[in-house]
Structure 1
Amino acid sequence: MSPASPGRWYRTRRWMLRSAAALVVVAVALVAWDAASYDARPWLADYARIKHGMAQGYANLDWISQQRRVDLAALDRRTTQALTNAHSRVRAFFVLRDFVRAFKDPHLRFEQRQSAAPAGQVGSVVEQVANEKLAVVASCEAAGYEEGNHAFRFDFAQLPGWRQLADGPFPTGIAGDVGVLRIAQFGEDRYLASCRQVLRSGLDARALQLAVRARLQEQLRQRLAALQASGAKRLLVDVSGNGGGSEWVSDVIALMTDRRMSRAAPRLVAPACQRARVWQGHRDCPVFDLALEREELVGTGAWQGPVLILSDGGTASASEDFVAWLQQNHVATVIGERTLGAGCGYVDGGTRVSLHELPLDVVMPNCARFLEDGRNEIEGIAPDVPLEVAAEDAPAQLASLLRGRL
Structure 2
Amino acid sequence: MSETQGGGATSPKESRKRGRKVFRRIGIGLLSIVLGLLGWDVVTFDRGAWQRDFEVLEVAMAKEYANLDWMVEHRGVDLTKLDRDTRASLGGAFTRVQAFLALRRFVRTFQDPHFKLTRGAGRPSAPPLQSAAAPETPPTPVASCTAAGYEARPVDFRFPFKKMPGFTAVHEAPFSAGVAGELGVIQIAHFGEDRYLATCEAVFAAGMDEDALRLAVRAKLQEALQRAIGALRDRGAKRLVVDLTGNGGGTEWVSEAVPLFTGSTLRRSEARIVSPSCDRTPIWKGEKVCSIFGEPPGMATLEGKGAWKGPLFVLADRGTGSASEDFVAWFKDNHVATILGVRTAGAGCGYVNGGGRVELREIGFEVRMPNCARFLADGTNEVEGIAPDVALPLDKSDEEKITALTAAIAATRD
* TM > 0.5: yes
1:301 maps to 2:306: yes
**Contact 2:393–2:404 under 8 Å retained in 1:** no
1:337 maps to 2:342: yes
Q: Which amino acid aligns with 1:206?
A: D
1:353, CA displacement in angstroms?
A: 0.8
Q: Which amino acid aligns with 2:115?
A: L
Alpha-carbon distance between aligned partners in 1 of 2:358 and 2:156, rounded to the nearest angstrom: 37
**Contact 2:144–2:204 under 8 Å retained in 1:** yes
Return the TM-score normalized by structure 1. 0.91
**CA distances 1:325-380 after superposition (whole Å, capped 9, x unpaired):** 01111211101111111000101221111112433210000000011111111011
**Residue in 1 that maps onto 2:107:** 100
Aligned residues: 392
Alignment of 1:146-295 (within 5 A): 146-150=151-155, 152-295=157-300
Distance 1:335 1:266, change over 3 A: same
**Residue in 2 that maps onto 1:82:** 89
1:294, CA displacement in angstroms?
A: 1.1
**Residue in 2 that maps onto 1:62:** 69
**CA distances 1:126-175 after superposition (whole Å, capped 9, x unpaired):** xxxxx865432111111111112247531113323222222221111111
**Contact 2:171–2:231 under 8 Å retained in 1:** no
Distance 1:236 1:215, change over 3 A: same
Q: Which 5+ residue runs of structure 1 have no aligned equivalent?
A: 119-130
1:401 maps to 2:408: yes
| Match 2:27 to one of 20, 40, 58 | 20
Q: Which amino acid aligns with 2:63?
A: Q
**Residue in 2 that maps onto 1:125:** none
**Contact 2:158–2:394 under 8 Å retained in 1:** no
Distance 1:80 1:373, change over 3 A: same
Q: Which 5+ residue runs of structure 2 have no aligned equivalent?
A: 1-7, 127-135
**Contact 2:190–2:250 under 8 Å retained in 1:** yes
**Higher mean C-alpha displacement, 351-360 vs 199-208:** 351-360
Q: Which amino acid aligns with 1:176?
A: G
Alpha-carbon distance between aligned partners in 1 of 2:379 and 2:138, rounded to the nearest angstrom: 40
Distance 1:374 1:151, change over 3 A: closer
**Residue in 2 that maps onto 1:386:** 391
**Contact 1:150–1:170 under 8 Å retained in 2:** no
**Contact 1:369–1:376 under 8 Å retained in 2:** yes
Question: SS of 2:376's equivalent?
Answer: coil
Alignment RMSD (CA, Å): 2.1
**Contact 1:44–1:80 under 8 Å retained in 2:** yes
Question: SS of 2:353's equivalent?
Answer: coil
**Structure showing greater Rg:** 2
Alpha-carbon distance between aligned partners in 1 of 2:175 and 2:137, rounded to the nearest angstrom: 34
Alpha-carbon distance between aligned partners in 2 of 1:282 and 1:272, rounded to the nearest angstrom: 15
- Structure of greater relative contact order (alpha carbons < 8 Å, 6+ residues apart): 1
Alpha-carbon distance between aligned partners in 1 of 2:310 and 2:119, rounded to the nearest angstrom: 45
**Contact 1:135–1:204 under 8 Å retained in 2:** yes
Question: SS of 1:211's equivalent?
Answer: helix
**Residue in 1 that maps onto 2:370:** 365
Question: SS of 1:371's equivalent?
Answer: coil
Distance 1:192 1:206, change over 3 A: same
**Contact 1:117–1:349 under 8 Å retained in 2:** no
1:250, CA displacement in angstroms?
A: 0.4
1:350 maps to 2:358: no
Return the TM-score normalized by structure 2. 0.90
1:39 maps to 2:46: yes
Question: SS of 1:352's equivalent?
Answer: strand
**Residue in 1 that maps onto 2:118:** 111
**Residue in 2 that maps onto 1:128:** none
**Residue in 2 that maps onto 1:124:** none
Q: Which amino acid aligns with 1:90?
A: V
**Residue in 1 that maps onto 2:132:** none
**CA distances 1:213-250 after superposition (whole Å, capped 9, x unpaired):** 11000000000001000001111100011100000000
**Contact 1:151–1:167 under 8 Å retained in 2:** no
